[in-house]
Amino acid sequence: MAGMIATGLFVISIGLSMAAQAAQVGAAKGAVVLTVAGDIGNWNRPAYDDRRDTFMKFHEITFNEAMQFDLQMLAALPQGSVEAKPPQLNKMSKFTGPRLSAVLEAAGARKVNALKVLGLDGFAVDIKAPELDSHDWIVATAVDGRPLAIGDQGPLWLLHAPKSTTRVGEQEEMRWPWAVFYMVVK
């Protein structure tokens, strides 16, 4: 009986420790540009609020907890770059920003089976684990050294480098969501 109580207290202790760790993630100090929800263990904002989250309500988004990032938080994560010529640009360009894996790790994403990514215009794409694992994805915050702005495919553009020297096909590039503001880990 004492062993069961000790085990129970240990499990409760671990649970409280994990909750405290999640609650200790720093809040975004600047304007929030990305919200990550779903199967995550770290969060820095409470549940969806019908009055506060009017843009989320417009997109029919709700969540229990979420991890919000401002640009400074994203800049502090391990960075990557991708050279690509997506249809929206007429030249080869260099995209820079945090690695998607670093963003998901910062949010405490558990096993990622899929990632739903939503743009400001409502464009959504589901990216399954094999596709996530087979590419080096970045959450681009800048192109050719200039920040991505709203109306200029920003604030964030999710894309990846081709695995070979051949160019990524236009059909695949069309699955690269731009004006990203929300991700759900499934």
- Indicate the SS3 state at residue 172: helix
Contacts of 139 (CB under 8 A, 6+ apart): 34, 74, 97, 98, 99, 100, 103, 156, 157, 158, 180
pTM of the model: 0.83
Q: What is the pLDDT of residue 20?
A: 42
Dihedral of alpha carbons 89, 132, 59, 44, sign: negative
Judge whether 109 and 185 are in contact, CB under 8 Å. Answer: yes
Task: Answer whether CATH 3.30.40 is correct for domain 2-185.
Answer: no
181, burial (CB in 10 Å: exposed 0-12, middle 13-18, buried 19+)? buried
Residues 129, 40: Cα–Cα separation, whole Å:
15
Model confidence over 15-47: pLDDT tens digits?
A: 444 444 444 478 999 999 999 999 999 999 999
Over the stretch 49-63, which tens digit does the pLDDT of each residue have?
999 999 999 999 999
Q: Are 121 and 179 in contact (CB under 8 A)?
A: yes
* Amino acid in position 127: I
Nearest alpha-carbon partner for 39 in 20, 72, 63, 57: 63
Q: What is the pLDDT of residue 88?
A: 79
- Ranges of each domain in the chain: 2-185
More confident residue, 8 or 56: 56
Nearest-angstrom CA–CA distance, 139 and 167: 19
Instruction: Dump pLDDT digits (tens) for 117-126.
Output: 999 999 999 9
Summarised one tens digit per residue, pLDDT across range 166-182 is 555 555 656 689 999 99
Residue 81 confidence (pLDDT)? 95
Distance (Å, rounded) from C-alpha 145 to C-alpha 8? 53
Six-digit token string for 97: 């920003």
Q: How many CB atoms lie within 10 A of CB 24?
A: 9
